[in-house]
Structure 1
Amino acid sequence: MNQDDDAGPNRWGVSRRNFLGGSLAAAAAVTPLTTGQVEAAGAASALTVDGVAQVTVRAAVNGAPVTLRVDPRATLLDTLRERLDLKGTKKGCDRGQCGACTVHIDGQRVLSCLTLAATTTGRKITTIEGLADGDRLHPMQQAFIDHDGLQCGFCTPGQIMSAVAMVDDEGGADSDDEIRERMSGNICRCSAYPRIVDSIRDAQQVMR
């Protein structure tokens, strides 16, 4: 294509020179954004990540008030581990089948991998890090140590959190068989179940 062809009209009667000139004129005619509009646009972008609007969560975590902006799809498990650095809550199956991620919400045991962080506003969340009273371990934590109720330890935080809620919130168990039944949602891949039952049986006597 030569210079004349470039400047001349095409089959639609529009030349490149005329098109560019019209575009520049249209751009120049756009009203500039005011300072307030720029600030509003910046604030709006801060409320989204990758195009997803964030939500504000205000909750108490281990007794401390926490305010976070989170993706509405984020699980409580990932929020605790990645945003609050509370790594005691373990990611096991990530499907609600193993119990390793058990935490308390308002005293009740829940699977944090199946709980959206956005649903916890106004709630009290307790993780394994929040059970001890300073340097004094919770009776359930101490019982797991005394009875060696663990092997690899990966499932232990979830086992302890589930057992504490089972005693405090649900009234405990009256027999070893009942302990096994009510703790059946917490899997120990190392099969340390006899010592886990011993730990819970003795701890609930102290807790009661």
Structure 2
Amino acid sequence: MLELKGINYHPATAEGPILKAISLSAQTGEPTIIFGPSGSGKTSLIEIISGLSRPQRGLITWHGNQVNERRRRSLCGVVFQFPERHFIGLTILQELRLGHRRLAIDIQEKALKKVGLMTENYKRPPEWLSGGQQRRLAIAVQLLREPKILLLDEPTAGLDWSVRDEIVELINQLSKERVLIVVSHEPELFTKKQHLSYELTNGKLHKTVP
């Protein structure tokens, strides 16, 4: 279980704190969805959980043990908004192998199978994939790191409605094996009872009913 207790975050570029006494818990099998308008601090919260930023106050624990930024970076996989804009591999296969000295074919295929890309030609450029397929590829890249915690920043942004539903279903499936946290400004997409929902407004987090 991942727990945040009393997290306060005041970046140097802001007049005041953008996260105030944030507390939440997330566990395997129950996707945690955090809603809020643009600028509410959702991405900053993702950066803190993943160890990319440091809060001024508060505690983060993993299975009851406090974890610092370095440890959180090893625990977490992050897919930021519009990850397809940052693909640098010339092919799907190259994109998967970035950062890995060796990567067995069966491991690659397992990750692609989990995100529904098994039938694709791995020699195609990532840019040739549809928008939904590109999101799936970005998630597969993170799954190859075997994260205990998967963080998705606006995973449905810019996609048509049919593809959004597919990504939501993928999120539900992936959460069965790891802690999964999604931040989004589209609460209408996440209405199932198994979703644990929070709303982030004015720097504070409030639990909601999907």
**TM-score (structure 2 length as normaliser):** 0.25
Greater relative contact order (Cα < 8 A, sep 6+): 2
Query: If each structure's helix is expressed as a fraction of its own residues, which one has the higher value?
Result: 1
